[in-house]
Structure 1
Amino acid sequence: MRARVLAALTAAVLLGTGTAVPAAHAAPSRPGGQVAPAGAAAQLAPAAAAARAPVPCPKAPAPKASRPPRPVPPPKVPADRVVGGERLDTPGLVVPDGAAAPPAVTATSWLVADLDSGAVLGACGPHEYATPASTQKLLLAATMLPKLDPKQVVTVTRDDLKIEPGSSAVGLLVGGKYLVETVWLGLLLNSGNEAANVLARLGGGDDGVPGGVRAMNEEAHRLGARQTHAVTPSGLDGKGQFTSAYDLALIARACFANPLFRRYALTERTKIPAQPALKKGGFQIQNENQLIYRYRGALGGKTGFTQLARHSYVGAAERDGRRLVVTLLGAEARPVRGWQQGAQLLDWGFALPRDASVGRLVEPGELDAAEAAPSGSPAPSTTVTPAPWRGPAGTALARMADGDWRVIVPVAGILALTIGGLVAALVARRGRSRRVGRRRA
């Protein structure tokens, strides 16, 4: 009894000095110091379930187009669908909280991201499989631009010209000799499929085009584009060839990081040189990406189309020091073309706050590094270790923690007297117990 009384007196003394006594069973805290309200856990489950329900993407009406049956996509890999953040694992719309609705487009999937910070500003089905068409050429550029000398002269072979009849070509000639830089311009301005074969062959070494395609898939893996598989270097349809809007953004980010690509992508026109040995004159080509002519701050990009893939598009622009990229797949050319749909989504992205985000573009090699970590090793902790409890500012405990001896000395004296009283009480109680024990014996 005496011990309880003394403990109560001690608490009263400490409270009298302004020292806060922590509660033994305080309410659980949320990150940031907010106290979780009663029943919060019960409220989270239905909210989380509602968040998982896909939100339909705004769709523009488009005429029905005759197209071949869509290829069966690979099975969904859960780990691939959360690359960049769990909110991106949706077949529907994901936008920042409170953001205005994005424009209605005909694309089956799209994504808008910040090229510099990597923040994903919004998306529709970002990890849904789709076929790339000629936006595949961006993966070829990301893979081969760092490897090939733009001033090297290459001779075009007959095999380089083995492309689908009627598909896009820049007009390279068998036996023609061209600078690699000229071939790049033919690829990016005029979407030349034979130019893609030339560059893949050069970069593929002894294995030629197959080696180039293999290098493209290795680069996609390094970039974190785990839903991308190339079969052709040009984007001409091939069995098992897929990508996603998210993967295209990773690939485009790698391209726009290369100054050569930036220069090529903004080139409005160039001349394919004459081939005197073949008695053929030169001719001019121009950039097919209308964004660079009609959109303020345009940085370039790539168009694409096949009957199977429909229209695909990648475009980037800069405004007020902010560089955004848009990717879209499976679009129709009416009511507006693919680049115009991209421009609408870029406008929407530029109108968002600079800190808006629903996910991020992973860095090159990031996923490889995570996979190479020893199994069972703990993930790096981002938890901040809290400082020792020191009481509210201005109280005795807080002032003691700050080394204020004017508080430490009197409080220490009070504690010493209290502890001394407790010890004396215990000794006296033990003595009485022994005397009582002797009498009972």
Structure 2
Amino acid sequence: MYIRELHHRTARRLGSVLAAAVCAAGPITVCGPAIAQPPPPTITPFATPVTDTCPHRDRPPAAIDTSEVPAPGEPTPTALPVPDSPIGGKRLGECGVVLPTGAPAVPPDISATAWMVSDLDTGAVVAAKDPHGRYRPASTIKVLLATIALRTLDLDTVVVGTQADADVEGTRVGIGPGGRYSNRQLLHALVMASGNDAAHAIAAQLGGDEATVAKMNSLAQSLYARDTRAATPSGLDGPGMSTSAYDLSLLFREAMSIPLFAEMIGTEQFDFPGFPADPRIPGDQDHPGFPIANDNGLLYNYPGALGGKTGFTDDARQTFVAAAERNGRRLAVTLLQADVLPIRPWEQAARLLDYGFALGPSAKVGDIPGDEAESASTAPELAGPPENAIAYSAQPRTESRYDELWMTLMVGGLILVPILLVGTWHVRTRRR
């Protein structure tokens, strides 16, 4: 009987414990008065950042880390001057969403703080948001480095990888000390896989990081990219780093005028060399070559995608520039300070491209300066590049003019020589 009573007491106690646990889990009527539960947390719905008050007219948002603190003894860069008139046309001085008259609302779910859609061939700006607002470019600035490298370096030249290449900060494609890499391979790694080690190896051939950054800034200024200042060759954040949706679109358009750049950003996979074993590491073996893949999601998922460039740093957030073709029309899209929510940057770019293609070729709110951009509102606003700006972009066009002049002289000479010979023969005949 004692044992039976002990079982009953144990059962009652166990029942009480279970009941208490059930009641603690939520307000159930059998447990007596309901226990008040705290309200669920409020979830703020997604909203595209508002830029109507031009919050970044002079400089990018404040950095969240120390990446932009100048080195000891180095001055803090001042803000880039803001042109008196917006480059590209009056409407591009607006800071909110800039649309053609009568255009429908832009697609939802665009988290980019600034963006722009432009015609890659005519230079027409189709639509934009805070086009001249200043933000950080992250690795999209590699477009500028690639432009200089493609016009300066011998692509067949082979360089040997260094430990400094391998130790560079950020995204690396996998350069190893002692590896042998052609500039063509390095450029594929730069634009396809955003290799900062490839950027370091390329910059070393252009005179080092400091000299390369100077060349990048000179080219940007010569192209009237007045919101752009590179601080590193790779796009890692640094003191004074800046660009805008307008400038990045301009720089991308310039790069796309180089056929090899367009080919590289549209390449899905590329074989990259390995490197030998490090004799300092016991047991280390040779590292074989490996394929690298393009990191641009738009290239794989958007019909007509031509390729582009991705970027990310903690301060810049997600950045993106790309292009696509539809029915013979090529549009470029740029995103700055975007996020992966509510959709990924390449998906945001896809929606904006769809929007731009739907507007049609006559839609325009401004221009990107160039041979094809003949807007009367654009030309008077270009004050010209600084005196020390090296017009790298003009080199191919200048060479073309020289070629034409040389050809003219050669043809003229071929015509003139027989005439002179015939004339000389006539003179001699008369004298005889």
TM range (shorter): 0.5 to 0.7
Alignment correspondent of 1:152: 157
Give the alignment of 1:261-280 within 5 angstroms.
261-276=261-276, 279-280=286-287
Deviations 1:94-117 (A, max 9, x none): 100001111131111001000110
Preserved CA contact (<8 Å) 1:69 1:308: no
Alignment correspondent of 1:96: 100
Alignment correspondent of 1:342: 349
Give the alignment of 1:35-434 within 5 angstroms.
68=65, 75=79, 77-79=81-83, 82-104=86-108, 105-164=110-169, 167-202=170-205, 204=206, 207-276=207-276, 279-363=286-370, 370-371=383-384
Residue identity matched to 2:352? L
Preserved CA contact (<8 Å) 1:113 1:122: yes
Q: CA deviation at 1:371?
A: 3.5
Give the unaligned 5+ runs of structure 2: 1-50, 55-62, 69-75, 279-285, 374-378, 387-432
Over 3 Å counting, the alpha-carbon distance change for 1:73 and 1:317 in structure 2 is farther
Q: CA deviation at 1:195?
A: 0.5
Deviations 1:372-400 (A, max 9, x none): 89xxxxxxxxxxxxxxxxxxxxxxxxxxx
Preserved CA contact (<8 Å) 1:56 1:93: no
CA distance in 2, matches of 1:251, 1:346: 18
Q: Does the residue aligned with 2:151 lie in a helix, a strand or coil?
A: coil
CA distance in 2, matches of 1:335, 1:80: 36
Residue identity matched to 1:194? D
Residue identity matched to 1:293? Y
Residue identity matched to 1:155? V
Larger radius of gyration: 1
CA distance in 1, matches of 2:104, 2:120: 21
Over 3 Å counting, the alpha-carbon distance change for 1:55 and 1:353 in structure 2 is farther
Q: Does the residue aligned with 1:141 lie in a helix, a strand or coil?
A: helix
Q: Does the residue aligned with 1:255 lie in a helix, a strand or coil?
A: helix
Preserved CA contact (<8 Å) 2:77 2:239: no
Q: CA deviation at 1:175?
A: 2.0
CA distance in 2, matches of 1:223, 1:336: 33
**More displaced stretch, 171-180 vs 152-161:** 152-161
Preserved CA contact (<8 Å) 2:107 2:351: yes
Q: Does the residue aligned with 2:310 lie in a helix, a strand or coil?
A: strand
CA distance in 1, matches of 2:276, 2:79: 52
Residue identity matched to 2:222? R
CA distance in 1, matches of 2:77, 2:320: 20
Preserved CA contact (<8 Å) 2:67 2:238: no
Q: CA deviation at 1:79?
A: 1.7
RMSD: 2.8
Preserved CA contact (<8 Å) 1:224 1:367: no
Q: CA deviation at 1:74?
A: 5.6
Residue identity matched to 2:208? G
Alignment correspondent of 1:405: none
CA distance in 2, matches of 1:81, 1:291: 34
Q: CA deviation at 1:307?
A: 0.7
Aligned residues: 308
Residue identity matched to 2:200? N
Preserved CA contact (<8 Å) 1:113 1:326: yes
CA distance in 2, matches of 1:76, 1:88: 18
TM-score normalised over the length of structure 1: 0.65
Residue identity matched to 1:112? V
TM-score normalised over the length of structure 2: 0.66
CA distance in 2, matches of 1:360, 1:254: 14
Over 3 Å counting, the alpha-carbon distance change for 1:150 and 1:70 in structure 2 is closer
Q: Does the residue aligned with 2:318 lie in a helix, a strand or coil?
A: strand
Alignment correspondent of 1:7: none
Preserved CA contact (<8 Å) 2:298 2:350: yes
Residue identity matched to 2:309? K
Residue identity matched to 2:184? E
Q: Does the residue aligned with 1:323 lie in a helix, a strand or coil?
A: strand
